[in-house]
Amino acid sequence: MVIGDRTWTHNYAEMGFVDGRTGKANSAWVALRELARKSGTLVGFVGPEKVKKQMQEIRRILREHVEREHFEISGDPLPYVSGSGYQAAFKIDCGPSFDS
């Protein structure tokens, strides 16, 4: 993920996307990973209410993480664009080893 001139490469646990019951990645991480696979644009891949909740969780975690890293995301990091779906206000994609 790139915001401004800073780049992050973290796994789900380092970012805070852990399901407290299982210790595994939560559904918001799955949605963020799908957002990365789609180069920052996500049209609902499950029910609209579930996607909305996942986007809220991603926003919350990103804001917390960015605050710890001491820089800001101005505005909504994942705005909904009518006709296009959710559009990341930052660069995100998968590394070369993702599908290996």
Query: For position 51, what pLDDT does the model report?
Result: 86
Query: For position 74, what pLDDT does the model report?
Result: 74
Query: For position 99, what pLDDT does the model report?
Result: 72
Q: Which two tokens stand for residue 4?
A: 């401004």
Q: What angle do CA 25, 73, 77 make, to 5 degrees?
A: 55
* Per-residue pLDDT tens digits for 15-71: 889 999 999 999 999 999 999 899 899 876 556 788 889 999 999 988 887 776 655
The pTM for the full model equals: 0.79
* Between 22 and 81, the higher pLDDT residue: 22
Residue ranges of domains in the chain: 17-87
Q: Which two tokens stand for residue 34?
A: 């799908």
What one-letter code names the amino acid at 79?
P
Q: Is the pLDDT of residue 84 over 70?
A: yes
